[in-house]
Structure 1
């Protein structure tokens, strides 16, 4: 009987040590939870006015993370309380700091993805 208890305790200790080792070796990744949210007045969301294929759109985003933007042409960006990086079709990454509003009246960028920092 004592032998079974000892084996169970040893097995539990080995399992615990293995779990602890994996936890220490595998770093926790960043949780990217960018959300497409309803635009509401008085909120400090990232807000992007864009167009593509004859359609126009106004979209708002909240929370840190990165998402596809589908190659839409961006007419205006209001960052609200978010730092933003957008990646355009030319391969450039452009950072815009929070509390800025930018318009692109003549040559709007074609944006492939956006990231809230």
Structure 2
């Protein structure tokens, strides 16, 4: 007969093994979009933006996924080797194919999220 401690340990081990197997078998969305340092000559997504309070920024991103862009206005986008969807704060989404560079000199979109496909 097994002791209660051994039964409890066995139950925990079986539950852990089942959870590990379930995690490996069931596909999920493993989004790993990364905000990275911008370097010349790289083919990453590059976005020039401003916040309306006098601050501006140039940001680069790599890897597939979606992340918040904080409601900043986008002045220019260079997609590099990435297909992009940006989601503006009005609910619209705009897809931009890889290898495109777009400027918004007059009416820049205010963007809530960006997604690399």
- Map of 1:60 onto structure 2: 60
**1:12-51 to 2 correspondences below 5 Å:** 15=14, 19=18, 23=22, 27-51=26-50
- Map of 1:94 onto structure 2: 94
**Unpaired runs of at least 5, structure 2:** none
Runs of 4+ in 1 over 2 A off after TM superposition: none
The TM-score normalised by the length of structure 2 is 0.80
RMSD: 2.6
- Map of 2:114 onto structure 1: 114
Structure 1 residue 66 displacement after superposition? 0.6
The TM-score normalised by the length of structure 1 is 0.80
